[in-house]
Structure 1
Amino acid sequence: MNKLALSDEILLNIDKPARYIGHEVNAVMKDKEKVEVRFAMCFPDVYEIGMSHLGIQILYDMFNSWEDTWCERVYSPWVDLDKIMREKGIPLFALESQDPVKDFDFLGITIQYEMCYTNILQILDLSGIPLLAQDRDESHPIVIGGGPCTYNPEPIAEFFDIFYIGEGETVYRNLLDMYKEYKKNGISRREFLIQAAGLPGMYVPSLYEVSYKEDGTIASFEPTVEGVPRTILKQIQMDLTETYYPRKPLVPFIKITQDRVTLEIQRGCIRGCRFCQAGQLYRPVRERDVDMLKQCAVDMLDSTGQEEISLSSLSSSDYSKLEELVTFLMETGRERMVNISLPSLRIDAFSLDIMSKVQDVKKSSLTFAPEAGSQRLRDVINKGLTEEVILKGAAMAFEGGWTRVKLYFMLGLPTETEEDIRGIAELSNKIAALFFETVPKEKRTGQVQIVASTSFFIPKPFTPFQWAKMNTKDEFLDKARLTKTAVREQLNQKRIKYNWHEADVSMLEGVFARGDRRIGEVVRKAYEKGCLYDSWSEFFKNDVWLETFAECGLDIYFYTTRERGLDEIFPWDFLDCGVSKEFLKREWLRAQEGIVTPNCKRQCQGCGAARFGGGICFEKRNDAGEIEDGAAQTLKEYAHLHAGDGPAEYAAGTEGGVQA
């Protein structure tokens, strides 16, 4: 066993020392003298959250399946250990070998949430790696970022050597082979980065230059080296069955946020909610083969001893073999005494029947996400959920024995009115009343409780609402107070509990979400003033952030409350997520008119994702081989149906090198 980087004295004086000792069940150990590439995979948050992230488990499995590579893990030290490490000069280390991160070839950081940006700097700082990429030399690891926040990497661009745009299963092998040649031939770090920028999906910020207009908007974004691509196309894994998936996932020594086996059944979503970034980024929809999932579930349960298995998907109800898979898992669960978790299900008769079978006798709460209080606003956001459907689902739930319902809404959505806000309380009241109408008094097992929660709407890149203005902090809080007042006016107010999110954090997230390179200076200075773990309310220092923005001469309202013009260049426009800007623009205009767009299975909307050569765009044929419901089946059909909808390369079906 490798010697621990922390002494017994330190481990006995910090919270949850098991976060730092490694050697969990299924952790991969290799001889570092027999590998050519060492990769430190980092989640910039506390261990319990990072260990719950499926993406790192998949990449960990993939990297360690290669004989020439050893992938180890790194998480943000909690504040108690952070203080000790700084005082004693202890460098940040990887869990498996306990070796310093600065000795690795790569430091890969997955960026899932904007409020982890100062934690990224903590990782670099404690590792002894210069915060700015321009200050690094051949002795430092290549710092590479991935994950959803890289779809606008500009606020943290100066801290990274490379950003990997897309899903990790596709290009990493090529990058590591290129790195091995770099080490062998002794070329410069800069030359390696230039070569890496030629790989699909690789964005090297130091090779691009941005200029601004007098009004602060972007004038141009150009590569500074010949041959470096102007546009970077996201990389996606089309075949999710014959690819990497961890059959022996890591098992922690302590309880983590998602302490269960996770089975990812598909990627992508057909729904097209206009506020949802994930629904756009992960198009097209791709399913895993049901037989592969069955075997995977058995293998993971065997190798971990876990007592719960959860399905992972943006919309589990849309998985075509859901009934077959759940039936198998229920049978397997009974044999092994394993519970099944089924998130992201639509509340319909099938789902409730399944949930009644897999949940304990004491039924837990059911969750609905209407997102908006009125049907008008649900049409604006393209939620695809009517009040009739919501109430019908709630009635079935009450008849099935559930008494607690969680409702999720957003405040500050585009075109929102006071009537829409009051609709949150009114819909909650209708659901509470439905309990008494639906369940006879003699059959009630408890009192009904409705928990209504509101978050504050934050416009995100690559959504139709990327042009929208965001509310101010005071506007958000006024709307939360109005919602609370409206709840108190309802007949069933005692049955309704109302919660709302913190406005300060939402405002900063809004700046980061649509920020440009100028934000990097603010992040760095705020970190130097002690900002860390900004997603944790007890550590968030809003006054320090506001002070730092002022020092850097940046106005947060420029990034939040300003509605963008349709012709404005966004900081992320050099990235191609597969969904065209013309499509998003069309959806933005339809939203303002309250026009609903059908989901992908009902009608192809020509978003651009068809050019990836698979997914739902190619699956809708009947037994006679005819196209069903208007869904395009080939790139030629796609081009024919949608010629003129967007840029010429989309209409021709040739973008990204794919020939129609």
Structure 2
Amino acid sequence: MNYNLALPDEILLSIEKPERYIGNEVNSVTKDKESVDIRFAMCFPDVYEIGMSHLGIQILYGMFNSYEDVWCERVYSPWTDMDAVLRKENIPLFALESQDPVKDFDFLGFTLQYEMCYTNILQILDLSKIALLAKDRTWDDPIVIGGGPCTYNPEPITDFFDIFYIGEGETKYREIFDIYKKARKDGMSRIDFLHECAKLQGIYVPAFYDVKYKEDGTILSMLPIYDDIPKVIYKEMCLNLNETFYPTKPVVPYIKITQDRVVLEIMRGCIRGCRFCQAGQLYKPLREKDVEHLKELAIEALKNTGYEEISLSSLSSSDYTMLSELIDFLIKSCNEKKVNISLPSLRIDAFSLDVMSKVQDVKKSSLTFAPEAGTQRMRDVINKGLTEEDILRGSHEAFLGGWNKVKLYFMLGLPTETDDDILGIGDIANKVAVEYFETVPKEKRNGRTIDIVASTSFFVPKPFTPFQWAPMNTKEQFLDKADKTRKGIMAQLNQKHIKYNWHEADASMMEGVLARGDRRLNEVILKAYKRGCIFDAWGEYFKFDVWMDVFKECGVDPFFYTTRVREDDEIFPWDIINPGVTKAFLLREWKTALSGKKSSNCRQQCLGCGAASYGVGVCFKERT
């Protein structure tokens, strides 16, 4: 195939990391564009290094390209230097594989992983010369479709999308492609095509739903404008992960990316029920992949990529029932090939530490605990099944095993939080340090000492969690709590061994607005973009003052979405979507949280969340 770059050499040589834009990486797919019926541009609205690390895109990219009639290519947000060049030279944004303009494609699909990337969606559309508003598009524009976790409340960005795909992407795209081919063959209008798609389960076409508001700004109703499309959109879910497409030839980049390794997804969902965690609810029920299937996938992917590291992906890897067998197999086959094994999302207990000892080199990396809160009372409120005893016992075992670096992750601003909970963060960090000095005698430290990093993020309530009713702290409250945490750590006996980091309060407040926002935010996002807001997820580019000015201009109160108390029966903007977990269950869990009580995990006792309606996974396994 002829390979002509969209950019001349003088531009490529003038920008940072030109490898982001030239395509042709190992395992990237090229096809003859005349031989396919559908061209799909798959976009991650952030810089190449972040987007290339995303497993979901690798899965859909591989699956779409396995269809003879579809060619899927990739596009990422051009970094700021490239953005300036494209605008100055009037060069349309292009896909990596063919280097053809994105506007020439049939579909432009966005994966929406993080609310702070919303202005980058508009950057992509703008640079592609595609109409920013869905209502202004014709058949000359691609169908713009969004998927990923942020589509579980897509209301703040409904004006920019033709379609939202709710749920796991492997199940419905073939039907959408077939409807598209028929629509183009039969001369169907764009609106009629979207109408046909809107009849499919999991497909939300926001233009076909009418939203009315009460005088107090809350939602009165959200209703379809046609009788033949659903009133509620049910998420799509893979019922058997062993039969679902999984890429064993992922694209291998030229440059270092955030997750530069083979990623082996071992299961989806989680049994734990942490009340702040959106992913734990959205991907219910827990479904495991067969261990023999995983062994085959691992060997194939390592062979096809040449990577020297494999990472096991899930929300809580320790809960995979065949983990020991899988690890033993990987150790045997990976040691022969000098491949490292990475195990994120492990609960730190004796079993996990034993596993980590087997797979890690003599040089021990940091041990990571996520207590999330500084006291047991607060951990019970958030249903985090981790006690201080667990942390200290895990630390003890780790120190005996040779670890001396510990990372501790906490949240500030959780519902019912008190000063005692905040000061407890420093207390736990100090106790871990004490555990080190009591566990490792001076003569065995080899000149090393304990190194603890305590990090706090600010709690952002998310849709479809028990905390979707919770008021969020203000920026000022967050900063005050970070200051109290810092002072609490500085007051500890071992404070010189503890480093403290905290997250940006401005960005957390903005994330909170976008996470629980409604359609009135579309105008705000569009204006903010036109005033220069892109790469809001990157601290150095986030223009908080511009956002605040735009809220004022649009007559929208950002605190309506963050700090106010919500009534039990309020209609939320995302109630039009059914993720399999019922609102009644989430409300029960919210009340249980406020009473300071824990709930059991899915393997101990079914809490009747509603996910059993899918008929698969942990809901139908024997309880422990």
TM norm structure 2: 0.99
1:104 and 2:105 are equivalent in the alignment: yes
What's the counterpart of residue 193 of structure 1? 194
Partners in 1 of 2:353 and 2:461 — Cα distance? 33
For 2:527, give the aligned amino acid.
Answer: K
Partners in 2 of 1:212 and 1:97 — Cα distance? 46
Q: Deviations over 1:431-474 (max 9, x none)?
A: 11110111111111411011000000000000000000000000
What's the counterpart of residue 634 of structure 1? none
What's the counterpart of residue 427 of structure 2? 426
Q: Summarize the alignment of residues 201-216 of structure 1 with structure 2, pairs less than 5 Å apart.
A: 201-216=202-217
Shift of 1:225: 1.6
What's the counterpart of residue 151 of structure 2? 150
Q: Deviations over 1:550-607 (max 9, x none)?
A: 0000111110001111010000001000000000000000000011100000000000
- Secondary structure of the equivalent of 2:573? coil
- Secondary structure of the equivalent of 1:186? coil
Choose which of 487, 493, 502 in structure 2 pairs with 1:500.
Answer: 502
Q: Deviations over 1:229-281 (max 9, x none)?
A: 10000000011111101111110000000000000000000000000000000
Shift of 1:349: 1.2
What's the counterpart of residue 255 of structure 1? 256
Partners in 2 of 1:563 and 1:264 — Cα distance? 38
What's the counterpart of residue 330 of structure 1? 331
Shift of 1:358: 1.4
- Secondary structure of the equivalent of 1:572? helix
Shift of 1:534: 0.3
- Secondary structure of the equivalent of 1:458? coil
Shift of 1:139: 1.0
Partners in 2 of 1:82 and 1:41 — Cα distance? 19
Q: What's the RMSD between the two structures over aligned residues?
A: 0.6
For 2:431, give the aligned amino acid.
Answer: K
1:512 and 2:517 are equivalent in the alignment: no
TM norm structure 1: 0.94
- Secondary structure of the equivalent of 2:395? helix
Partners in 1 of 2:560 and 2:249 — Cα distance? 47
What's the counterpart of residue 116 of structure 1? 117
Partners in 2 of 1:272 and 1:357 — Cα distance? 29
Q: Deviations over 1:464-504 (max 9, x none)?
A: 00000000000000000000000011000001111000000
Structure 2 residues not aligned, in runs of 5+: none
- Secondary structure of the equivalent of 2:592? helix
What's the counterpart of residue 270 of structure 1? 271
Shift of 1:291: 0.7
1:566 and 2:565 are equivalent in the alignment: no
Moved over 3 A (4+): none
Q: Deviations over 1:78-111 (max 9, x none)?
A: 1001001011110010000011110100000000
Partners in 2 of 1:186 and 1:408 — Cα distance? 56
What's the counterpart of residue 535 of structure 1? 537
- Secondary structure of the equivalent of 1:274? coil
What's the counterpart of residue 23 of structure 1? 24
What's the counterpart of residue 452 of structure 1? 454
Q: Summarize the alignment of residues 169-188 of structure 1 with structure 2, pairs less than 5 Å apart.
A: 169-188=170-189
What's the counterpart of residue 125 of structure 1? 126
What's the counterpart of residue 367 of structure 1? 368
Partners in 1 of 2:360 and 2:586 — Cα distance? 40
- Secondary structure of the equivalent of 1:596? coil
Partners in 1 of 2:437 and 2:600 — Cα distance? 35
- Secondary structure of the equivalent of 1:183? helix
Partners in 1 of 2:318 and 2:137 — Cα distance? 47
What's the counterpart of residue 526 of structure 2? 524
Shift of 1:427: 0.6
- Secondary structure of the equivalent of 1:99? coil
Partners in 1 of 2:290 and 2:65 — Cα distance? 24
Partners in 2 of 1:226 and 1:297 — Cα distance? 47
What's the counterpart of residue 232 of structure 1? 233
Partners in 1 of 2:318 and 2:200 — Cα distance? 36
Identity across matched positions, percent = 68
- Worse-matched range after superposition: 382-391 or 526-535: 382-391
What's the counterpart of residue 409 of structure 2? 408
Q: Deviations over 1:159-187 (max 9, x none)?
A: 00000000000000001000000010011
Shift of 1:226: 2.0
- Secondary structure of the equivalent of 1:539? coil
For 1:394, give the aligned amino acid.
Answer: S
Shift of 1:217: 0.6
Shift of 1:70: 0.4
- Secondary structure of the equivalent of 2:138? coil
Partners in 1 of 2:4 and 2:604 — Cα distance? 59
Partners in 1 of 2:445 and 2:353 — Cα distance? 18
Structure 1 residues not aligned, in runs of 5+: 621-627, 630-660
Shift of 1:619: 1.3
Partners in 1 of 2:355 and 2:435 — Cα distance? 22
Q: Deviations over 1:306-326 (max 9, x none)?
A: 010000000000001000001
For 2:102, give the aligned amino acid.
Answer: V
Partners in 1 of 2:33 and 2:227 — Cα distance? 37
Q: Deviations over 1:186-220 (max 9, x none)?
A: 11000011110001100000000111111111111
Partners in 1 of 2:472 and 2:95 — Cα distance? 40
Shift of 1:29: 0.7
Shift of 1:62: 0.4
Q: Summarize the alignment of residues 390-409 of structure 1 with structure 2, pairs less than 5 Å apart.
A: 390-409=391-410
Q: Summarize the alignment of residues 239-638 of structure 1 with structure 2, pairs less than 5 Å apart.
A: 239-445=240-446, 446-620=448-622, 628-629=623-624
1:45 and 2:46 are equivalent in the alignment: yes
Q: Summarize the alignment of residues 1-16 of structure 1 with structure 2, pairs less than 5 Å apart.
A: 1-16=2-17
- Secondary structure of the equivalent of 2:249? coil
Partners in 2 of 1:451 and 1:355 — Cα distance? 20
For 1:472, give the aligned amino acid.
Answer: T
Partners in 1 of 2:378 and 2:276 — Cα distance? 12
Q: Deviations over 1:52-79 (max 9, x none)?
A: 0000000001000000100000000010
The number of residues matched between the two structures is 622
- Worse-matched range after superposition: 341-350 or 464-473: 341-350
- Secondary structure of the equivalent of 1:573? helix
What's the counterpart of residue 635 of structure 1? none
What's the counterpart of residue 89 of structure 2? 88
Shift of 1:390: 1.1
Shift of 1:350: 1.5
Partners in 1 of 2:152 and 2:272 — Cα distance? 20
Partners in 2 of 1:428 and 1:386 — Cα distance? 14
For 2:238, give the aligned amino acid.
Answer: Q
For 2:135, give the aligned amino acid.
Answer: Q
Partners in 1 of 2:226 and 2:123 — Cα distance? 31
- Secondary structure of the equivalent of 1:209? strand
Partners in 2 of 1:57 and 1:569 — Cα distance? 36
1:162 and 2:163 are equivalent in the alignment: yes
- Secondary structure of the equivalent of 2:575? coil
For 2:552, give the aligned amino acid.
Answer: A
Partners in 2 of 1:497 and 1:563 — Cα distance? 35
